[in-house]
Amino acid sequence: MIAVIGRPNVGKSTLVNELVGAKVSITAASPNTTRRAVRGVLTDGDVQLVFVDTPGLHRPRTPLGHRLNQAARHAAGDVDALVAVVEATQVLGPGDRTTLETLVREAAGAPDLHPVVVVSKVDRARRGTVADQLLAVSRVVEEIADAQRAAAVGARVDYFATSARTGAGVDGLRTHLRDRMPDSPFLFPPEEVSDVPASEWVAELVREQVARRTREELPHAVHCRVIELTDRRASVEIVVERPSQRAIVIGHRGQMLRAIGTAARQELPEGMFLELRVVVEPDWQRRDDALDRFGY
């Protein structure tokens, strides 16, 4: 088991998809796209790597945000390797520091854990920038390890630079992790690539398209759920918080909703009918009863 953590938007889900070699987690340019710990499974011969993609660690502003942080922290515990992701071209900020603190703390508490730092999106950076970022992040790790009185942990951390877009560095990272997995029975059937049930996946694909086509607060305000699913037909409800958001998701003469449906359908089995509806559930992100019902 390998958990991948980091602040929102550093490219965790894109990296997990690339490591698994299949799309198991949705991605978008807006933060907080990943809403639960998603397990992506790669079975190769007698080795099985289970990558746990997590929601981004951030300063929560809503009860939903709190639950997403909790899910990420929970997923970081009790794994064989922990991968902390920071971006190549962004100055390390408080969210990165929190992530690295989590990495060091978990590693200090578990002598068998393999801590890894990944500098991501190197396709966007010059070579010198990547080297500088590797140096900067290793200094922060050592500083944190010293502060936690766990200096030896600093020396256990391995560093990688990757691009999930070009694939650079991803094979090296995968091999590194593969070589460090403990003996264990398979945790998933070898033919399975993720733990996301088919019904949830259809809703995720729809939410991905909404997140990619809307901006500001809207991607956060959307929850998708499957109302009906058969071999030939899926009916998905897009839940928003306000009537004004409903109007945006539907768009002028329904154009936006049609575009969302067309794009999501491309990733569904050939010939499958997808029906979308937009409903308002006032302020659901801040209501515990709604969050419970939606399974967060």
Ligand X SMILES: Nc1nc2c(ncn2[C@@H]2O[C@H](COP(=O)(O)OP(=O)(O)O)[C@@H](O)[C@H]2O)c(=O)[nH]1
What is the binding site for ligand X (CB under 6 A)?
A: 6, 8-14, 27-29, 33-34, 56, 120-121, 123-124, 163-165
Closest separation between CB of residue 129 and ligand X, Å? 13
Among 17, 30, 32, 34, binds Mg ion (CB under 5 A): 34
Closer to Mg ion by CB, 34 or 133: give it: 34
Which of these ranges, 6-14, 44-52, 192-200, 245-253, lies near Mg ion under the rule CB under 5 A?
Answer: 6-14
Three-class secondary structure of residue 52 per DSSP: strand
What is the token pair recorded at 294?
């939606």
- Torsion sign over Cα 159, 178, 186, 38: positive
Select from ligand X, Mg ion, none the partner in contact with residue 123, using the beta carbon and a kind-dependent cut-off of 5 to 8 Å: ligand X
Residue 165 or residue 180: which is nearer to ligand X going by CB?
A: 165
Which lies closer to ligand X via its Cβ, residue 125 or residue 141?
125
Give residue number: closest CB to ligand X: 11
Q: Are strands 38-44 and 2-5 parallel, antiparallel or unpaired?
A: unpaired
Q: 161 or 234: whose CB is closer to ligand X?
A: 161
Report in angstroms how near the CB of residue 124 gets to ligand X at its nearest. 5
Those residues whose C-beta lies under 8 Å from the C-beta of residue 150, and which sit 6 or more positions away, are: 104, 107, 108
Q: How far is the CB of 197 from ligand X (least distance, A)?
A: 20
**Residue 88: CB partners within 8 Å, gap ≥ 6?**
119, 120, 121, 122, 124, 125, 129, 130, 133, 161
Tell me if 48 contacts Mg ion by CB under 5 A: no
Binding residue for Mg ion (CB under 5 A) from 5, 6, 13, 67? 13
Regarding beta strands 47-53 and 223-229, do their DSSP bridges make them parallel or antiparallel, or are they unpaired?
Answer: unpaired
Two tokens, residue 90: 């962004």
285 contact, one of Mg ion, ligand X, none, CB 5-8 Å limit per kind:
none
In this structure, the strands spanning 47-53 and 38-44 are antiparallel
Question: x/- string (CB under 5 A) for Mg ion, residues 173-212?
Answer: ----------------------------------------
Report the C-alpha gap between 51 and 29 in whole angstroms. 21
d(CA 4, CA 130) in angstroms, rounded, equals 20
Amino acid at 226: V
Q: Which is nearer to Mg ion, 12 or 67 (CB)?
A: 12
The smaller minimum CB distance to Mg ion, of residues 34 and 194, is found at 34
**Token pair 């809403």 in the structure block, residue:** 35
Residues that bind Mg ion (CB under 5 A): 12-13, 33-34
